[in-house]
Amino acid sequence: MKMAPEEVKYGTPPYKALLNLRYEVLRKPIGMELREKDTALDYTEHHVGIFDSNRQAIGCVLLRPLNDHVVLLRQMAVLDSYQGKGIGAKLVAHAETLASQKGFTRIETRARKTAYGFYAKLGYTAIDNVFADEHTLTMGKSLTPGATP
């Protein structure tokens, strides 16, 4: 598949397409809206998307700086009909490279139980093996070459 991840600027039409994707993939299936708190800090974050030839958003991921060293990977979503084709892995790899280039040395995520295996495949390990809440497990990975996760 030739589609490549691209950075998307906050507030632009592609950003709005990613918002819709976040709703469709992450919220609608659990009967929720995309809440104000889900998007309140969007303007501070790095947005990465993948689009098809019609510019339909098919995948996205966001990076939120937690401090000078650690970045939070969140809102990871791939459109149902495109799942299982390597798009999620491609988005995470792009996000990790971007985070590294921006000087972050560690990346973390709050993985849903159903996505635990996905992140584990990509080298993320559970932090203290503790669920951040009843639905999510905090997982992380070093961005320093050669370091242990």
Ligand X SMILES: CC(C)(COP(=O)(O)OP(=O)(O)OC[C@H]1O[C@@H](n2cnc3c(N)ncnc32)[C@H](O)[C@@H]1OP(=O)(O)O)[C@@H](O)C(=O)NCCC(=O)NCCS
Task: Confirm or reject binding of residue 112 to ligand X (CB under 6 A).
Answer: yes
Closest-CA residue to 87 (of 138, 15, 25): 25
Binding ligand X by CB under 6 A: which of 88, 99, 124, 143? Answer: 88
* Centroid of chain to Cα 52: 18
CB of 80 to ligand X, least distance (A): 8
Q: Return the residues of window 5-44 that contact ligand X according to CB under 6 A.
A: 25-26
Residue 21 burial (C-beta neighbours within 10 Å; 0-12, 13-18, 19+) = buried
Cβ distance to ligand X smaller for residue 72 or 143 = 72
Binding ligand X by CB under 6 A: which of 118, 137, 140, 143? Answer: 118
Spatial separation of the C-alpha atoms in residues 1 and 81, rounded to whole Å: 14
Spatial separation of the C-alpha atoms in residues 15 and 83, rounded to whole Å: 21
Task: Confirm or reject binding of residue 111 to ligand X (CB under 6 A).
Answer: yes
Please give the structure tokens belonging to residue 80. Answer: 């149902």
Sole window of 5-13, 34-42, 115-123, 127-135 interacting with ligand X (rule: CB under 6 A): 115-123
Q: What backbone phi and psi angles, to 5 degrees, belong to 52?
A: -85, -175
Sole window of 11-19, 45-53, 98-106, 117-125 interacting with ligand X (rule: CB under 6 A): 117-125
Q: Compute how many residues bind ligand X; rule: CB under 6 A.
A: 19
CB of 7 to ligand X, least distance (A): 18
**Cα-Cα-Cα-Cα dihedral sign, residues 133, 26, 93, 97:** negative
CB of 111 to ligand X, least distance (A): 5
Give residue number: closest CB to ligand X: 88
- Residue 70 and residue 110 in contact, taking contact as beta carbons nearer than 8 Å: no
Task: Confirm or reject binding of residue 87 to ligand X (CB under 6 A).
Answer: yes
